[in-house]
Structure 1
Amino acid sequence: MLDKKSIDQAKTVLRKAIKNQDIAGANMLVIKECKEIFYHEDGMADREAGIPIRRDSIFRLYSMTKPVTATAVMILLERGEIDLYEPVSNYLEGFKNQMVDVGGRLVPAEREVTLKDLLSMSSGLVYGGEDRAGLDTEAVFKEIDSKLLGDSPIGTVEAVNKLGKGALAFQPGTSWRYGTSADVLGAVVEVVSGQRFGDFLKKEIFEPIQMKETAFWLSGEKRERLVKTYADDGNGGLKLYTGNHLGIIHHMDRNPTFESGGAGLVSTIDDYARFTKMLMNQGSLGGVQILRPKTVNYLTSATLNQTQQKNFDLWGTLAGHSYGNLMRVMADTTKAGDLGSPGEYGWDGWLGAYFCNCPNEDVTLLFMMQKKDAGTTTLTRKLRNIILSSCY
């Protein structure tokens, strides 16, 4: 349960952030032992139209798509359709004969990128940056974005093969860096299953556990519930943000040709809660089994070796954590900068969607907002510290 004092504190902190124009609005949900113990919504989904955040508001997940993609990979793994030590080039031509940027000089990869490398972000694939690998990646996304709304948009497999032809930031398996690995896994799922990635997710995850609001795009009626995105205006306020980013059509108004396994989904707080409950229930929900318990245990475990962990530790606000299967995992609470428990796992998104599952306490926290360049913010950490310190 949550005591009244903690509930009031959480509401006060969220309302202060809205009043200060740190965010326009948000909703949050706390679940314990599969039962809701707290829900709160506040602020605006659309400030210009005066539409408030509601329970059925739809949010762009961005990187909170990644745990869903990892789950799809686990489905194929436990069916024996893939082996994590297989080279990605078994499925995607663009990953043959890859080159690695070593101090500005391109050298051949010492070994091929594997599916396991992708799941641990130890592949050498990155998002952006000033090095050759970052610039190559940015060039691919610039091309994807330039064709998003045209007559010949770039598809999932084509886009990922282009990423594979770019330089890697390091030799596969030798380091850790956040990047496009989840997009590549989405394409692998598409190739292995013989279905569009979105169709696979719908058939194998969304429909079985009744995630009716989660998809890569929205029909007309549902688009009316899509929350507007805001950015800092430079003067202590907020301004509307409408740009496409990482190959995602911001308005979600058409079925995309590129279905991003790293960033493309939208969902509601209740819909995503069905996904988190399934994981907390060891792979089952409502009598439907998506994954077996041993698979879930692997999915939610840290997988980095010592060398990879050293590079992950450079992400200062994730002190005390490790990483595995496209999620952070709490490894040492004494080193963390926020309250938590060993084995806690989850992830966030570029616009501020956030979740954590705490198996030891059987507690889930979900927080949804839409602000450019958000990720896990100071506000998010304040709220989780209130909740996780008082939930019993």
Structure 2
Amino acid sequence: MLDQTAVSQIKATLRKSIENNEVAGASFMVIKDGEEIFYHEDGLADRETGRPVERNTIFRLYSMTKPVTATAVMILLERGEIDLFDPVSQYLPGFKNQHAEANGGLVPVEREMNIHDLLDMTCGLVYGGTNAAGQATEALFREIGERLLGEAPLGTVEAMNKLGEGPLAFQPGTSWAYGTSADVLGAIVEVVSGMRFGEFLQKEIFGPLGMKDTGFWLPEEKRGRLVKTYASEQGGMSLFTGNHLGIIHQMDREPAFESGGAGLVSTIDDAAKFTTMLLNQGSLDGIRILRPRTVQYLTSGTLNDRQQPAFDAWHTMSGHSYGNLMRVVTDTKITGILASPGEYGWDGWLGAYFGNFPQEGLTILLMIQKKDAGTTPLTRKLRNIVMSTL
């Protein structure tokens, strides 16, 4: 259990953040050795109606979807259905004959992008930017967005084949950039499994783990639990309702494009089932999702010496490396937070966050819903309080 001083500090820190209009509301959970030792909720899920954040409030995960996608890939790996050095074009022909940026122009790739490149984001795919790769990616997401609610929306595999036709920011394997690789991985899972990505996740992960409120959309009876999203503005917060990265914000229909990089919604309890499964070496309550050796590989990936400098430019990720769609702590002396060697996790665009700490048998989960959030100062403050008690 956390001592009373730490509990009071956590509650006061979260309350101050709400009063300062940094977040509208939040859920925060700490799990130790598989047992919940702390849970707290505060603030509003809907400021307009006064609906509070509750334990079963549903949050958009955005990039906290990525570790789920990496887990799906590992399921295929340990069954012998894929090889991480398979070229992406083996599954998605749009990735054949790619070109990469070099010296202001485009040149043929020196080798094909493979699944391993996608998992480590060393493939040359990006989310946006002024370069050719970024502009092509933004154009694709505009097309996905324009067709999102129409009669002919782009599906997962179709969209990713189109992505493959655009240029890469660099030669596969030579650097690192945060980008769309998890979306491509979702499409590969779809091709290999012969079922829609969401069906695969439900059959292989969500169903077995009892994650009953996790998926790519919400039936009508659950939509009243979906949290509203807010954006910071001078002196306050404003409601945000826009679709982003091909995600239908209202989550009110089954999407054609199931984004392995950003598409899931979940509750804090569902997320805890997934993170506890990983920390428990692949099983939860007698249900095995992955074998222990596979989990160890999944959660310990790092970049090589050629790739790491590009990741080091992300200054709040000092002391970390990256692998299998997650951050991994490599040097606690320079992290800028109280950290643990080998801890891993990820966050999302709207602020969903998890960290697993294998040495301590600890999980920290935070759910907020704020535009452009990622890992916020509030996130770091709360985890520092917890880590200081260990």
The TM-score with structure 2 as length reference comes to 0.99
Find the residue that maps to 1:278 and give its secondary structure. Answer: helix
The answer to whether 1:381 aligns with 2:389 is no
Letter in 1 for 2:304: N
Q: What is the Cα deviation at residue 314 of structure 1?
A: 0.6
Find the residue that maps to 2:122 and give its secondary structure. Answer: coil
Matches within 5 A, 1:22-33: 22-33=22-33
Deviations 1:2-25, CA, capped at 9 Å, x for gaps = 111011001101000000101100
Alignment: residue pair count: 390
Letter in 1 for 2:82: I
Distance 1:259 1:388 in 2: 35
2:253 corresponding residue in structure 1: 254
Distance 2:330 2:384 in 1: 17
1:288 corresponding residue in structure 2: 287
Distance 1:267 1:389 in 2: 28
Matches within 5 A, 1:123-272: 123-233=123-233, 235-272=234-271
Find the residue that maps to 1:357 and give its secondary structure. Answer: strand
Distance 2:87 2:216 in 1: 27
Letter in 1 for 2:85: Y
Q: What is the Cα deviation at residue 388 of structure 1?
A: 1.2
Q: What is the Cα deviation at residue 232 of structure 1?
A: 1.1
Letter in 2 for 1:78: E
Does structure 2 retain, via aligned residues, the 8 Å contact 1:282–1:296? yes
Letter in 2 for 1:276: T
Distance 1:132 1:252 in 2: 31
Letter in 2 for 1:371: K
Letter in 1 for 2:389: S
Letter in 2 for 1:183: D
Does structure 1 retain, via aligned residues, the 8 Å contact 2:302–2:328? no
1:279 corresponding residue in structure 2: 278
The answer to whether 1:112 aligns with 2:112 is yes
Deviations 1:21-76, CA, capped at 9 Å, x for gaps = 01100010000011010000000000001100000000000000000000000000
Runs of 5+ unmatched residues, structure 1 = none
Find the residue that maps to 2:272 and give its secondary structure. Answer: helix
Distance 2:207 2:232 in 1: 37
Find the residue that maps to 1:260 and give its secondary structure. Answer: coil
Distance 1:133 1:236 in 2: 36
Letter in 2 for 1:150: G
Letter in 1 for 2:136: D
Does structure 2 retain, via aligned residues, the 8 Å contact 1:231–1:372? yes
Distance 1:76 1:368 in 2: 29
Distance 1:174 1:340 in 2: 28
Distance 1:163 1:327 in 2: 22
Deviations 1:344-391, CA, capped at 9 Å, x for gaps = 000000000000000100010000000000000111101110011114
The answer to whether 1:80 aligns with 2:80 is yes
Distance 2:103 2:220 in 1: 49
Find the residue that maps to 1:277 and give its secondary structure. Answer: helix
Does structure 1 retain, via aligned residues, the 8 Å contact 2:299–2:324? yes
Letter in 1 for 2:337: D
1:336 corresponding residue in structure 2: 335
Letter in 2 for 1:377: T
Q: What is the Cα deviation at residue 303 of structure 1?
A: 2.8
The answer to whether 1:318 aligns with 2:317 is yes
Deviations 1:148-171, CA, capped at 9 Å, x for gaps = 000000000001111111110000
Runs of 5+ unmatched residues, structure 2 = none
2:62 corresponding residue in structure 1: 62
Find the residue that maps to 1:26 and give its secondary structure. Answer: strand
Does structure 2 retain, via aligned residues, the 8 Å contact 1:230–1:239? yes
1:370 corresponding residue in structure 2: 369
